[in-house]
Amino acid sequence: MERAKKQSEIFLDINSNAKSVSPDILLNISMLKDPFSDIAVARRVVERLNKNGVFANKFELSILEESKIKIASIIKFALRYLVDIS
């Protein structure tokens, strides 16, 4: 019983003070983990769209860029389902 109490205290301490991880960072880690995953391919599509054409310089590819279209939600909820490596 004492061990469970200590573990729960540690868990609460860690999770109540932890800062949430940026979705962009999670996307980048996913790309490194599996470069041919749907998320990685979708991210590369957005990067290519951002280079020229109608979407040139419209997407926020880094947390250092401001006032552009954020890509984490676009990739996570839409674009990843449109790309497939078979």
pLDDT in tens, 26-55: 888 888 889 998 888 999 999 999 999 899
For 30, the domain range is: 23-86
Q: What is the pLDDT of residue 32?
A: 87
Sign of CA dihedral 8, 10, 14, 16: positive
User: 3 pLDDT exceeds 90?
Assistant: no
Across the chain, mean pLDDT equals 85
Q: What is the pLDDT of residue 63?
A: 75
- Domain for residue 76, yes or no? yes
Q: What is the pLDDT of residue 13?
A: 82
Q: What is the DSSP string of 58-79?
A: TEE-STT--SSEE-HHHHHHTG
- Domain for residue 2, yes or no? no
Q: What's the whole-model pTM score?
A: 0.68
In the chain, the number of structural domains is 1
Confidence of residue 86 (pLDDT cuts 50, 70, 90): low
- Domain for residue 15, yes or no? no
